[in-house]
Structure 1
Amino acid sequence: MRTLGPGERPHPLDPLGPEEILAVREILAGEGVFTESTRVAYLGLEEPPKAEVLKTAGSKRRARAFLLDLATGEGEDVVVSLTDRRVDARTVLDPVKDGQVPLLTEEHGLVRRVLREDAGWIAALTRRGIEPDQVYVAALTAGHYDLPHEEGRRVVRVLAHLQPTPDSLPWAYPIDGLVAYVDLVKGAVLEIVDTGVLSVPSESGDYHDPEVFGPRRTTQRPIEITQPEGPSFTVDGNLVTWEKWSLRLGYDMREGLVLHQIGFDDAGRTRPVVYRASVAEMVVPYGDPSRVRFWQNYFDTGEYQLGKLANALELGCDCLGDITYFDATIAGDDGAPLVLKNAICMHEEDYGVLWKHTDPANGSRETRRQRRLVISFFVTVGNYDYGFYWYLYLDGTIELEVKATGIVFTGVYDERAAPYGSQVAPGLAAPYHQHLFSARLDMTVDGVANAVDEVDVVTRPMDAANPYGNAFGRAITRLRTESEAQRDAAGSRDRTWHVVNPAVRNRLGQPVGYALFPQDKPTLLASEGSSVRRRAAFATRHLWVTRYDPSERYPAGDLVNQHPGGAGLPRYAAADRDIDGQDIVLWHTFGLTHFPRPEDWPVMPVDTCGFTLRPVGFFDRNPTLDVPRPRPAAVAAPPASAPIRR
């Protein structure tokens, strides 16, 4: 994001700048909160309440931090006033009830050092004929399983892969049947689970090596996308305007890209649609119940923090065309600002035909082309990579597409693994798993007083009013309380959820609205009573609607790492507040259930999921009637040797 110049004041929703991050560290140190052994697990803007932001452009700047004392293992939740230069709130965390702060970057290095020196780990590798220096270890979040020796401890679990050379990709060579539990505060191994020696698969997974998978194809000719007059959007600080859209870009080291105050210009008036949109959590639960892998489920947002794992995007690879990049600034473990170069990519794309008609009555022919604004970022979480793409369209549609790629997590394929994983290469298993995301959509459809209608298609019985049986229609159900608004998608009924403003009507007398179109994929498949189901209760329903509360930011709760469960949406919705014509937040679960294919190895082609928000009665008519005809384009003549097809 842009760094403010001298004398400039940030907008209340602008992310923390580097000077502010340094100021937080200074304030914490000045009040004795930040010491030599303190590390910053999270630091971000403590956003002012919505009503305060909508009322005034000025506001006190506050930051929130999750801190960890490496010496004692004690965690703290701290709120700092940058305006008043003081600590406003300080809460010591109970590791049993509250869980642990997210993993630190430096803790991955700690785990490697601990295992290199642990006699039990070295002995387990020796039994397998493996040298410790050729092992790649992954420090993985531990979950919560009421194991007595882990209560109150800061723990990770470690799986290993053989890495024959420093340039080798290790994922083809799982060292299966072996897992280590490591206490991060004591810097010691708590337990080693060794269920027996299994042969390491031998086939390489080095997809980048032509000697392994053959030469590159040479058939592709260049595709060039140019905008000789530049892009159609403008950027003023973090405010973006494009066509009739306006929004503010935000960034958080936990959620990554955040879109604020999305609005659409209608006859010279900006009409609000979404106050805040982000992917507030995701969970990746695995389906292998073995002693080595039963615990595998990862909350990539709350435990690993997607925002701090952003890629530096590259022109021609991640983004194509006339690209505008934005850097993002987060806090490192030491509390100093860390700049993520080219973390956000923004560009516009042609998206085919917007509308078209050739009329036989008067011979008129009209075609308009659709285009969209693309705002995206990509993250790498260990073996997996995720791209998050927000699209704004000319007709008022908003879409989020998540692209999952990277490398599937692997184990040894044998009769034990067969019911719970796919064989993707000889002797190599990829366990069944899910990728489930929770989008937090703080809605403001023409104002903050919104309601949600569940809309299903229904068939009509054959009767006197429908003698030929061809009639069908819609059933509309208003969701009035938080308990009523825990809903599942229903593809056979084409279920959508309409966010309407009962106080604002279009010219036909209908309440203005936006509809959420889900993809209707499975929600969390883990059994009732399971640990991951308690901790990821948000993922058991496609939709939750809650009354807006500025403290309710995360669907699995503020602290996710080793939390026992029950936090987040179940706790928020337990109040069963009125949501009919109120300031409301939609929480939408969507994602993928992945039964890996051989085609997903050794690197997975992109798989996608997401949702769409589409105006339904928000406008009085098609809002793109003013889109001009496409300019005539020069068409290159075919090569002389190419046949002309007629």
Structure 2
Amino acid sequence: MTIDTKPRKIIVDVSGSGRIVENKEIPGSGYPALSEEAENATAYLPATYQPFLDSIAARGIAIDDVYCEAASPGWFNVSAEENRILVYLLCYDTKGTANVYMRPLEGVTIAVDATEMKIIRYLDVLKAPMPTSKGTDYRFAAQKGPFLTFSKPGVIEHPSFTLDGHIVKWAGWEFHVRPNLRSQNVISIVKKDGRSVMYQGFVSEVFVPYQSATTDWYWRTYMDAGEYNLGFLSLPLQPLNDCPRGATFMNATFAAGPDGSPYVTDNLICIFERYAGDIAWRHAEDLPVGDIRESRPKMTLVVRTIASNGNYDYIFDWEFQTDGIIRVKVEATGVLEISANAMKYVNEANMTKAEIDKMYGTLISENTIGVFHDHFFSFHLDMDVDGPNNSFVEGKLVKHLIPPEKSLRKSRWGLEKYVAKTEDEARIQINPIEHPAQYYVMNPSKKTRLGNQVSYRLVPSGVAPSLLDPSDYPQIRAGFTKNQIWVTKYNRSEKYAAAFLTAQSHGDDGLPVWSKRYFIHFYNTLINFTTNV
């Protein structure tokens, strides 16, 4: 909770006594995610603010057609904004479409002090016509044919997994799944064939920096988990559309609002078996002893959640395979957040570089710019490979030259393994072209029957570094995007890559700070892995 803009941590015994166990101010910068009540209250302020009414009148928009929503403004070291809980409002014209994000009130900046509930800064630099609503409604009823006729997908009528409370069992896997307000869900106490694999895994942060530098766009550098709560943003999953036939659903109950009253989301999580016609393993040969045709269908178990944060929907799948692989998939869908622009046709051949740069994106329709942006997803993976004492290993792929007298081959590559001794050594910028490598979490005290160290391999995909300058304020706040892998010693308070208190944080908490502290060799090893889409 927050009192006089100073965040406090208050722990209450809810088992019966109601006693306050802990009550202390949280040091450092940042605020919790704004409550729904506060967001809704700020969104109504423009309706009675005369400068805003003048702005929409100049655009020919009726107040009844205006929709505003609250957004977190980040931090840009502006003295007038320090020690204030801020909200910036994004407003849209809803006339003629459900896709309000295609009709923004471009050029309008509304800064609100969420404690005093008043507009403290207003700016309107009217610069572009409103994009048309024609053809923007995404609802199925508004679509025109012809439509594809889909064949029925492979349906598993009688799933072979069991769900006992929050414990899932399937094909030798056993794990606990629970809803979480900030991360949507937490997968924990993961075992395969009775052997421990992972203590806990969840989405740590989602960083979405837009790449426009204009007055009404520069601050749009969102931290979707810490600033908005992914679990709170999750709407009920729709059977047969969001999850296939045979899926099992799990509801979530969160404490929402300042009074701690329960908030229930039905169908927040779904669990199902997936068969998409893929092959798990195959081999075929024609041999003297006979033809061999061996193939195994690929069946997996999926734990799915979907967060709807404004215009974007994030689909998170934790997928468990029969061969012991845990695969985390992320899909970004939904609709674009666009910038209105006077341009109706682009001809880069007749434009200067400065004119192209100031588009800050791509013209996707008349008067409509799709603004460049990133999505960085950080995952917290607390590994317990055959027990809690794990080490991080980087296996470098090294080229070896072969003397001519040794072989007709001139070169080969080999694997050289290095065990990280400190957290600083385990900061990894993945570059498969210049520095090819493999990454492992190893149990140094356990060996296979052949003498190899028991380990799990981390296989990155979809990785890219942040291109923001290190001195840029959004990059300071999202310092975790500098590296794709961070390895830290377990600390129960170090869960969220960008900080525990993320809204308006200054970068004084999070992975770049934590990873300067400890030796990690032979300790409970925690992996933070960042990918992007």
TM-score, structure 2 as length reference:
0.92
Query: Match of 1:126, SS?
Result: helix
The structural deviation recorded for 1:129 is 2.5
Partner of 1:185: 115
Aligned counterparts of 1:417 and 1:126: Cα–Cα separation in 2: 31
- Cα shift readout 1:94-129 (whole Å, capped 9, x = no counterpart): 6xx432221111222212221111112112222223
Matches within 5 A, 1:615-630: none
1:244–1:194 Cα change, 3 Å = same
Match status 1:264 vs 2:205:
no
Runs of 4+ in structure 1 deviating by more than 6 angstroms, as ranges, are none
Partner of 2:397: 457
Match status 1:569 vs 2:511:
yes
Partner of 1:634: none
Partner of 2:8: 76
Q: Is the 8 A contact 1:203 1:426 kept in 2?
A: no
Q: Is the 8 A contact 1:240 1:247 kept in 2?
A: yes
> Which deviates further from its counterpart, 132-141 or 218-227?
218-227
Select the residue among 63, 67, 88 that pairs with 2:21: 88
Partner of 1:438: 378
Q: Is the 8 A contact 2:392 2:525 kept in 1?
A: no
Match status 1:338 vs 2:263:
yes
Q: Percent identity?
A: 28
Query: Match of 1:460, SS?
Result: strand
Query: Match of 1:298, SS?
Result: strand
The structural deviation recorded for 1:216 is 4.8
> Which deviates further from its counterpart, 286-295 or 355-364?
355-364
Select the residue among 151, 175, 179 that pairs with 2:105: 175
Aligned counterparts of 1:285 and 1:91: Cα–Cα separation in 2: 33
Select the residue among 165, 169, 178 that pairs with 1:250: 178
Partner of 1:538: 480
Aligned counterparts of 1:245 and 1:573: Cα–Cα separation in 2: 32
Select the residue among 309, 316, 333 that pairs with 2:240: 316
Counterpart residue identity of residue 518, structure 1: P
Select the residue among 359, 362, 365 that pairs with 2:289: 362
Select the residue among 225, 232, 236 that pairs with 2:164: 236
- Cα shift readout 1:477-516 (whole Å, capped 9, x = no counterpart): 2211011111111222443211111110111111011010
Aligned counterparts of 1:223 and 1:250: Cα–Cα separation in 2: 28
Q: Is the 8 A contact 1:491 1:520 kept in 2?
A: no
Aligned counterparts of 2:308 and 2:213: Cα–Cα separation in 1: 26
Match status 1:476 vs 2:417:
yes
Select the residue among 318, 323, 334 that pairs with 1:395: 323
Query: Match of 1:528, SS?
Result: coil
Counterpart residue identity of residue 151, structure 1: E
Q: Is the 8 A contact 1:175 1:200 kept in 2?
A: yes
Aligned counterparts of 1:128 and 1:239: Cα–Cα separation in 2: 56
Aligned counterparts of 1:68 and 1:344: Cα–Cα separation in 2: 30
Counterpart residue identity of residue 20, structure 2: V
The structural deviation recorded for 1:299 is 0.6
Aligned counterparts of 1:82 and 1:349: Cα–Cα separation in 2: 40
Query: Match of 1:491, SS?
Result: coil
Counterpart residue identity of residue 137, structure 2: D
1:340–1:361 Cα change, 3 Å = farther
Select the residue among 522, 527, 531 that pairs with 1:586: 527
Partner of 1:34: none
Aligned counterparts of 2:296 and 2:505: Cα–Cα separation in 1: 52
Counterpart residue identity of residue 115, structure 2: V
Partner of 1:217: 147
Aligned counterparts of 1:466 and 1:515: Cα–Cα separation in 2: 32
1:199–1:411 Cα change, 3 Å = same
Aligned counterparts of 1:411 and 1:417: Cα–Cα separation in 2: 14
Counterpart residue identity of residue 150, structure 1: E
- Cα shift readout 1:313-347 (whole Å, capped 9, x = no counterpart): 11210111311111111112131111110110001
Aligned counterparts of 1:519 and 1:545: Cα–Cα separation in 2: 18
The structural deviation recorded for 1:200 is 0.9
Aligned counterparts of 2:203 and 2:488: Cα–Cα separation in 1: 16
Query: Match of 1:226, SS?
Result: coil
- Cα shift readout 1:60-95 (whole Å, capped 9, x = no counterpart): xxxxxxx245xx55532112334573222112346x
Q: Is the 8 A contact 1:282 1:300 kept in 2?
A: yes
- Residue ranges of structure 2 left out of the alignment (5+ in a row): 344-354
Q: Is the 8 A contact 1:210 1:216 kept in 2?
A: no
Aligned counterparts of 2:102 and 2:223: Cα–Cα separation in 1: 24
The structural deviation recorded for 1:210 is 5.4
Matches within 5 A, 1:628-643: none
Counterpart residue identity of residue 112, structure 2: V
Query: Match of 1:338, SS?
Result: strand
- Residue ranges of structure 1 left out of the alignment (5+ in a row): 1-66, 593-646
Matches within 5 A, 1:18-167: 67-68=1-2, 72-83=4-15, 85=17, 86-93=19-26, 97-165=28-96
Counterpart residue identity of residue 122, structure 2: I
RMSD: 1.9
Q: Is the 8 A contact 2:43 2:89 kept in 1?
A: no
Aligned counterparts of 1:366 and 1:291: Cα–Cα separation in 2: 62
The structural deviation recorded for 1:560 is 0.4
Counterpart residue identity of residue 338, structure 2: T
Match status 1:348 vs 2:279:
no
Q: Is the 8 A contact 1:284 1:434 kept in 2?
A: yes
Count residues with an aligned counterpart: 513
Q: Is the 8 A contact 2:179 2:269 kept in 1?
A: no
Q: Is the 8 A contact 1:436 1:523 kept in 2?
A: no
Query: Match of 1:111, SS?
Result: helix
Aligned counterparts of 2:196 and 2:303: Cα–Cα separation in 1: 19
The structural deviation recorded for 1:457 is 2.1
Partner of 1:559: 501
1:447–1:261 Cα change, 3 Å = same
Aligned counterparts of 1:552 and 1:168: Cα–Cα separation in 2: 40
Counterpart residue identity of residue 510, structure 2: G
Counterpart residue identity of residue 119, structure 2: V
Aligned counterparts of 2:443 and 2:29: Cα–Cα separation in 1: 37
Query: Match of 1:120, SS?
Result: helix
